[in-house]
Structure 1
């Protein structure tokens, strides 16, 4: 019995994760810019978001490369989804803080 062909699903999933990571990187840059010279807290949040989002980008790419030949694609794993959802929530809270304190 041969392994099922996943088609383009892994590549589409990888691109979706990269778009999410890029949005998080953009949020980090905007937080850095909004706090530059005026708020050390926003600057710190920006740095944290930027580092975490770049880490998310690298982790997603590593998971994709590692599981490329596997029949079950690890990018949809529950732990990966929970971490990404938590990161998006954290960035949203940082953004809310930046808007409220501006």
Structure 2
């Protein structure tokens, strides 16, 4: 018989959760940086500032939500409800919207 992790011990799940949310935030910051670098040579501000700002906001929200999720998964005793009902769809649709807006701006 193999001994599994204790039901009270969260294992590596909080760490993986924190890293996944962090990677998503880093991707959004990279998107903002690339859009901003594109504008450095421009004489004035253009429409590309809007998705760059949106990307930074998404990154900040993602960091906050990721920290909350990791803290939730580290709780003892483990909470009965852990599914991210609102956080994942909000960030997911924000990423899709950013991708569309970035594509339109770059065309």
TM tier, smaller: 0.7 to 0.9
Q: Is the 8 A contact 1:31 1:98 kept in 2?
A: no
Query: Could you say what the CA RMSD is over the residues aligned between the two structures, in angstroms?
Result: 2.3
Aligned structure 1 segments of 4 or more residues deviating by more than 4 angstroms: none
In 1, Cα distance between the equivalents of 2:8 and 2:74? Answer: 13
Hey, which of these two has a bigger chunk of helix by percent?
1
Aligned residues: 98
Q: Bigger CA drift: 5-14 or 32-41? A: 32-41
- For normalisation by structure 1, the TM-score amounts to 0.76
Runs of 5+ consecutive residues of structure 2 not aligned to the other structure:
1-5
Structure number with bigger Rg: 2
**Partner residue, 1:56:** 62
Instruction: State the partner residue of 1:43.
Output: 49
Deviations 1:60-88 (A, max 9, x none): 224423552151474x4121110111121
Partner of 1:93: 100
**Paired residue for 1:15, among 12, 15, 19?**
19
Structure with the bigger RCO (C-alpha within 8 Å, sep 6+) is 2
Please, what TM-score do these two structures have when normalized by structure 2?
0.73
